[in-house]
Amino acid sequence: MKFINYAMAAVAATCLALAGPLSAQTAAANSIEAINAAPQGADIAIRIDFKEPLAAPPTGFSVAKPAKIAFDFPSTANGLGKNSLVLKEGDLQSVNVVEVGGRTRLVLNLTRGMNYTTRLDGKALYVVLAPVPAVSESLAQRVTRFTEESAVGKRHAVQDVTFRRGKDGEARIVVDLSDAGTGIDIRQQGKNLVVDFVKTTVPDNLRRKLDVTDFGTPVNSVETKAFGENVRMTISPQGLWEHNAYQSENQFVVEVKRIVEDPNKLVQGTKTGYQGPRVSINYQNGDVRALLRLMAEELGLNAVISETVTGTTTLVLKDVPADQVIDIIFQQKGLDMRKKGNIMMIAPRDEIATREKLDFESRQQLSELEPIQLEQFVLNYQKAGDVARLLAGLAPVGGQAIPGTSQRILSKRGNAVADPQSNILFVNDIPSKLEEIRIFIKAIDIGVRQVMIEARVVEASDTFNRDLGVRMNFLSSRVNPNSGPGDGLGGSGIRGGGGAYSPSGQVTPQAIGVNLPSFTNVGGALAFSLFNASLTRILNLELAALETDGIGKIVSSPRVITANNVKAKIQDGTEIPYVTTVAGGGVATQNVSFKTAALSLEATPQITPEGSVRMLLVVKKEEPDWTRAVLGNPPIKTATVETNVVVENGGTVVIGGVYITKKENVTEKVPLLGDIPFFGYLFKYQQDTGQRRELLFFITPRVISDKLQLN
């Protein structure tokens, strides 16, 4: 943390070189005649003699690094005959006196930061310097301390230093320490990042400088060397960067990330809030321009302030970030800024808005007058005609319309022509739009990943479901089958589920356990279970075995390949004729129309960044009910299941809930005797039979790769 103490009565002339120069012909009304210094206990008293008494105490400010205090005297000349005095009184080293344009700046050069007070006594000005309390010094030291040494007196050691590149392009320096009690100091020194390991040794093979430029990170080199009783690591980044450090056990990690410059932020970085160096200000009725320049210097920025920024302000702030001080001034005076690189342009908000409006209008006029150019684009994956329509703000052929014309990428004078035979797009537009179109085509003209969806439609009875579930659970010794990985959602709660199959080919005790979505006591329930890729292979064997036993039937096993985010549909059924009679003019006319009664499956896959597949599944079962036919036209019974699941690549999802129920009632009796109440049961026989079948959909998505082969 950096502390700067500004104590000003008025800082209208903080920077004499940037202030408006006075006329060279104006004669100074006063002059500095003598400067003397003497110790007063722990304080230092400085007497400055003038030719004439001062009307008010001078404006002044203090800087921490390098430690100095400056005073500005308007209409005052340097009467000492020299520009520098060496005093050597305690922490006061020397005094510099500079006269510019009728004004004189007096600078006190110190060895450390000090507080000061001023007092007028006739023609003399007394400045008393007092040491800063030790609390501030200890606070500044704690800021750079990362880890305190826990094992005091013990020698520590650096065992290894490795450099890695993170997934986001950040530099990661990993230091293996002998123990977790090593004291660590980390600080920014100039353009480098310095890490000191307290009371630590480093072997000779690690005392080296690593050139890591080829890694493509913000860091150019990492140097490790012995530094007295400590080990010093110097990290040399480039460009804009920020660092993050953490320690886990005996491993210390420093991450250096590249900063993408944001023109709307004064201090760059990924952290939120104000991040500038801390300052304390006592600013009484001072010039706004001077204070803005001063804060810009603390932020390392070049300030360009508009001539329309005028007025004074009064601020009393303590330990406030410098960028927050600028924000406060902006709010007080209705100012705003635009930042380009390290140059900050400050002006009133209305003026900036007017400038941007004029700049926009000029660019718009330029685009209307700028000559157009012709450029051709060879497309590899997209259709040239579809891209031409997109550039014009229209929907592709067969796609949804785009409301309005705001999506148009071409300029008003631009046009695009597509050649379907060669799949080449010809664009005629201004150069700036051509660059945008080039970026747009590069982003969309890429290969689309494909997904193969395998669907196995199984007609199953309750016995089938129970047997399959028993066989699958036979391999699991799980005490509680309702817990563990791979559980599926079914009915009103979590049911079954299998874990991961061992890559070595052996099944672990808790590897497999599944409950298929058939519940004898719940009618019409929708349920599904998830299987991982390893369990899918075992599932195929079980389905084949149960079909051989005759208690299950695989209706169909279709496969379809579709692109990512493109709907795939599998349908199998018949068309039923419907006869309708239309009477007109005394003549009855019969018309025949057809309605589809089919078993269909719609799947829309989406490949996630993790490699899994998200699927929107719609299962529909339609069949005619001839028992309730009207005029020979049967109604169509429909059962629909719609769900959205995420399955790993090669895994299987089971969709159930499509039921087929069949009931039969058979009665045999002796005439008349069988109809006698109660006694009639002795002379008749009744048989009630019921059969319920369920359609199960086993859906397995597989992401197509170049190495995938279909047998």
Render pLDDT for 463-495 as a digit per residue (tens, 0 to 9): 555 455 544 544 443 434 443 333 333 332 333
- Whether the link from the prior residue into 203 is cis, omega within 30° of 0, is no
Which residues, 6 or more positions from 29, have their beta carbon under 8 angstroms from its beta carbon? 52, 75, 76
Q: Identify the DSSP state of 438.
A: H
Q: What does the alpha-carbon distance between residue 61 and residue 115 come to, in Å, rounded to a whole number?
A: 10
Residue 131, pLDDT > 50, answer: yes
Sign of the Cα torsion 549, 552, 553, 559 reads negative
DSSP string, 204-230: GGG-SEEE-GGG-SSEEEEEEEEETTE
For residue 662, what pLDDT is reported? 62
Residue 91 pLDDT exceeds 80:
yes
Query: Which residue shows structure tokens 């085509």?
Result: 441
- State the sign of the Cα–Cα–Cα–Cα dihedral 672, 676, 679, 685: positive
pTM of the model: 0.44
- Both structure tokens of 109: 């050069």
- 653: buried, middle or exposed (CB in 10 Å: 19+, 13-18, 0-12)? buried
DSSP 322: H
pLDDT at residue 461 above 70? no
Compute the distance between CA of residue 532 and CA of residue 678 in angstroms, rounded to an integer. 58
Residues in the chain: 711
* Mean pLDDT rounded to a whole number for the chain: 75
Per-residue model confidence as pLDDT tens digits over 192-232 = 999 999 889 999 999 999 999 888 899 999 999 999 889 99
Q: What is the 3-state secondary structure (H, E, C) of 115-161?
A: EEEEEEECCEEEEEEEECCHHHHHHHHHHHEEECCCCCCCCEEEEEE
Q: DSSP string of 270-303?
A: SS-S--SPEEEEEEEEEEHHHHHHHHHHHTT-EE
Compute the radius of gyration of the chain from its Cα atoms: 42
Q: What SS3 state is found at 176? A: strand
- 59 or 412: whose pLDDT is higher? 412
Return d(Cα 136, Cα 652) in angstroms, integer.
65
456 confidence band (pLDDT: 50, 70, 90): confident
- What is the pLDDT, as a whole number, of residue 532? 64
> Rounded CA gap, 382 and 378, in Å?
10
Segment (H or E) for 568: strand 568-584
Name the one residue in this structure whose structure tokens are 């008293």.
45
Q: Summarize pLDDT for 509-556 with one digit per residue, the tens.
A: 333 334 444 333 333 334 455 566 665 655 665 565 555 555 556 566
